[in-house]
Amino acid sequence: MGFRKVRGKKYNSIYEYYKNSDVDKRTVAYYIMYRDIDNIPKKVKCDATNKDEALKILNDKKAQLTKDRAEIEKDDSLLARKIMNNNLKLEDIAKIYFPTKTAKTTKMIESAFNRHVKCKYAHTWPPVRINTWPLEC
């Protein structure tokens, strides 16, 4: 099993996956290579049947990453403005903090945050009776 680069300038970052044991070395799958948001190169299998479809998938992925990077920059500048104006909220910090974490307990911590801090009924602690506690926030 091996990879070979697709020839042609416009097919940069597209690779063909082929069997070494085949006599004619026909293409089994197409892989695209791009840099993710953290600027780490990734080679991902795509479900394209020819190199033009792989090129379209690659361009769509790159466009999505460009859009995500712009949104992250916008969020960072918005955060800087809020810090300067002293109107930063805990929800703003949590919105930036939780997506950056990779630990297994992150979902648990985020749900606890949503349940106890972000919830509109959080100020009514302790509840009078357990069955009167609102379930959705």
pLDDT in tens, 26-52: 888 899 999 888 788 899 999 988 889
Low-confidence stretches of the chain (pLDDT beneath 70): 76, 78-88, 118-137
Q: How much is the pLDDT for 24?
A: 72
How far apart (Å, rounded) are the C-alpha atoms in residues 111 and 90?
15
pTM, entire model:
0.54
